[in-house]
Amino acid sequence: MLELYEKTAIELGELLRTRQVASVEVTRSMLARIEATEEKLHSFVTVTPELALEMAAEADRRISAGTAGPLTGIPIAIKDNMCVKGLRASCASRILANFVAPYDATVVRRIRDAGMVILGTTNMDEFAMGSSTETSYWGPTRNPWHLDMIPGGSSGGSAASVAAGQAVVSLGSDTGGSIRLPASFCSVTGIKPTYGSVSRYGLVAYASSLDQIGPIARDATDLALMLNLLCGHDPMDSTSVPMEHPDFTSFLGKPIKGMTLGLPREFYSHLDDPDVSRVMADARKVFEGLGVSFVELSLPHLDYGIAAYYIIAPSEASSNLARYDGVKYGHRAENFDGMIDMYCRTRAEGFGAEVKRRIMLGTYALSSGYYDAYYLKAAKIRTLITEDFKSAFQTCDAILCPVAPTPPFKIGEKIDDPIQMYLTDVFTIPVNMAGLPGMSIPGGFSSTGLPVGLQLIAPHFAESRLVQLASAFQAETDHHLKRPPL
């Protein structure tokens, strides 16, 4: 029999509504699991047992009063770059180590309104800049499947917490793969929604034209519940799209016979790892057995994606992070000689090496005489990549490809080689560049037992298609049911 912390949101919701368990009981189970495993994993920056039990008690009152929704009483973890009023929002950086959020992000307000239970905030790469959760000021998060391995980044704590049973679901943010990569490496299910479908109000910005909040869960069913909660227009976010979203749960279990999946040559030509190749081939057989056909296609500008991304994202970061100067909030250097020296010392002390690297890259790309040569050219490449995807979707319903070129790698293996670390995101970055929805689902395991994820990519605002495909795949496979041997 499964422990409470091992159950999905849909399973717990049924137990809660039928009064077989109370939310306080579920929350205590999660907090005990965090206490038992956190020393090994370091998934969290802040754990909030008092707040969680208070919210759970309120959820139980709502359930008793008959005013509960499908997620009332379900425990959730939130990435440390989203504002939760009264909690630290450090972005895993020294410069914000003691910053307490004065308001709730829109997604957090929706979580509160739904009656969910906030367990705490999760570890991440500093300011979401990284693919391994090793750049955190608070130290790295470890992969629940193998403690010597990275969990992916930047939402590594969010994915690890769900994989390890420390949270039922979690929130992450995705700028170049930061939800899908950890979901793949931790064998959980995660989605980056279409840019503009989930409010970014209260998300601490890294690259504003690329960042998107999304949920991480154990399976597509829980993901659909979370999308119903999170998607929708927010007047507080000028990039939020005013449109109606469907009930994503209505696409669960729908047949996928007759659908077509595209296989981009440019993605598969980069695939050298035998384990990832085998998992992709096995997944294709599963989809074919469900009546899906495949078509090869070309995305000719894909190879320029990483180069263009590492101009656009750092450029936006250099602008967004200019506000951390030690004047109004955050870390301030203690010893300085005048205002300019205070700025310099504060930022030198407050930011880690990777954040400094990206600020300098972005500042250079935006500087006088270089803007046209770098930023403008990268923006044009971004348009070409978007057009490539639009053309591809004329011949297929969605695209199937890997999330990452390899299974998880060892902590410390790539941290001193930025180029190799950046190449980890080769399959995820183009999705952000085009603003498309992308989902990672557990696809299998390597010969050494490490998780390998599949990536599904759909046209703009076609998240329902991803839910339908993932749900059908997970009905035929059991990869998402396996748990790490913690």
Task: Please give the Cα distance from 317 to 315 (Å, whole number).
Answer: 5
Q: CB neighbours of 331 closer than 8 A, spacing ≥ 6?
A: 94, 95, 96, 97, 98, 346, 349, 350
* Residue 158 CB coordination number (10 Å): 40
| Whole-number Å distance between alpha carbons of 362 and 375 | 9
At position 380, the amino acid (one-letter code) is: K
Report d(CA 101, CA 84) in Å as an integer.
Answer: 6
Cis amide bond preceding 154, omega within 30: yes
CB atoms within 10 A of CB 462: 17
CA atoms of 444 and 429, how far apart (whole Å):
22
3-state SS class at 10: helix
Asked about 154 being catalytic, the answer comes back as: yes
Query: Contact, 135 vs 354, CB < 8 A?
Result: yes
> Within the chain, how many helices (H) and strands (E) appear?
16, 11
Catalytic residue list contains 199: no
| Peptide bond before residue 178 is cis, with ω within 30 degrees of 0 | no
Question: Whose CA is closest to 184, among 252, 276, 310, 249?
Answer: 276
Q: Which two tokens stand for residue 4?
A: 């409470």
Name every residue whose Cβ is closer than 8 Å to that of residue 73 and which is 6 or more positions away in sequence. Answer: 12, 13, 16, 22, 23, 26, 56, 59, 60, 62, 63, 115, 116, 117
Pick the catalytic residue from 29, 136, 173, 178: 178
Other CB atoms within 10 Å distance of the CB of residue 101: 19
Q: Can you read off the two tokens belonging to residue 181?
A: 């990569």
Length in residues, the chain = 486
DSSP letter, residue 373: I
Which residue in the list 29, 90, 136, 154 is annotated as catalytic? 154
178 is catalytic: yes
Question: Rounded CA gap, 350 and 94, in Å?
Answer: 5
Residues 332 and 151: their CA atoms lie apart, in Å, by 32
Q: What are phi and psi of 346, to 5 degrees?
A: -60, -50
How many angstroms from the chain centroid is the CA of residue 411?
19
CA distance 440 to 403: 7
- The helix (run of H) or strand (run of E) holding residue 395 is none
CA 463 to chain centre: 15
Q: How far apart are CA 449 and CA 185, in angstroms?
A: 11
How remote is the C-alpha of 281 from its chain's centroid?
A: 25
Would you name the residues annotated as active-site residues? 79, 154, 178
